Copies of this chain bind each other. A is one copy, B any other.
Amino acid sequence: MSREKTPADLGHDALLPHNTRRSLPIALLRAREAVMAHFRPMLARHDITEQQWRVIRILAEAGRVDASEMADKAFILAPSLTRIIRSLEERGLITKHKDADDGRRVLLEIAPEGMRVIADVSPESRAIYEDLETRYGRERVEVLLDMLDELASLND
C-alpha cells in the first residue's frame, strides 16, 4: 500500500520527460555502441581508432580529398579532424599538402603505409560487417539505413 515516494511524485507527469527507455537519442547511442563493440577490438589490434579508420578508408576510396570534404564524408568536426590528420601524418599513414590553387585548403592523400593498413584491416572489417548483416538480416539493414537517412535529413 505505501509505495516508495520518488521525486517524480513531486511534480505532475507533464513536467517530466518521457521515459528514458524509449528515447531516440539513447536508442541511437546504444545501437551504435553495440555495433562498434564488434569493430573496436579489431581496430585496436591494428592500433587505429574508429575515426582514424574512417579517414584513411575514405582516402582509399576517394583519392585526394581536402579537409572540408573529409569532414563531410567522415562526419568529423573540423577541430577533431585537425588533430586526427596531425596524428595520421606523424604516423606516416597519410600525406598532407597545401592546395596550390587555394592556399587555405589542405589536401590529403593516403600514403603507402596507410594502404598497408587498409589491406590489413579491410578484410576483417568486411567479415565483421557481413556477420552482423547476416545476423540482423540483410534487408532489415537496408530498411534501417533508409530510416536513419530519413531521420538525419529531417532538418533540410
Q: How many copies of this chain? A: 2
Residue pair B148, A132 in contact (C-beta under 8 Å): no
Residue pair A37, B155 in contact (C-beta under 8 Å): yes
Contact partner of A75 among B17, B26, B118, B154, CB < 8 A? Answer: B26
Query: A68 interface residue, CB < 8 Å from B?
Result: no
Query: A80 interface residue, CB < 8 Å from B?
Result: no
Residue pair B29, A60 in contact (C-beta under 8 Å): no
Contact partner of A115 among B11, B140, B153, CB < 8 A? Answer: B11
Cα of A17 to Cα of B50 in the assembled complex, Å:
13
CB distance from A14 to the nearest CB of B (A): 8
Residue pair A147, B147 in contact (C-beta under 8 Å): yes
Chain B residue contacts of A149, Cβ below 8 A: 27, 30-31
Cα of A17 to Cα of B148 in the assembled complex, Å:
21
Number of A residues with CB within 8 Å of any CB on chain B: 71
A20-B73, A61-B6, A154-B132 given as contacts; is B33 within 8 A of A32 (CB)? Answer: no
Cα of A60 to Cα of B119 in the assembled complex, Å:
50
Chain B residue contacts of A26, Cβ below 8 A: 54, 74-75
A positions within 8 Å CB-CB of B: 4-8, 10-11, 14-20, 22-37, 39, 50, 54, 57-63, 73-75, 109-110, 115, 118-119, 121-123, 125-126, 129, 132, 135-136, 140-141, 143-145, 147-155
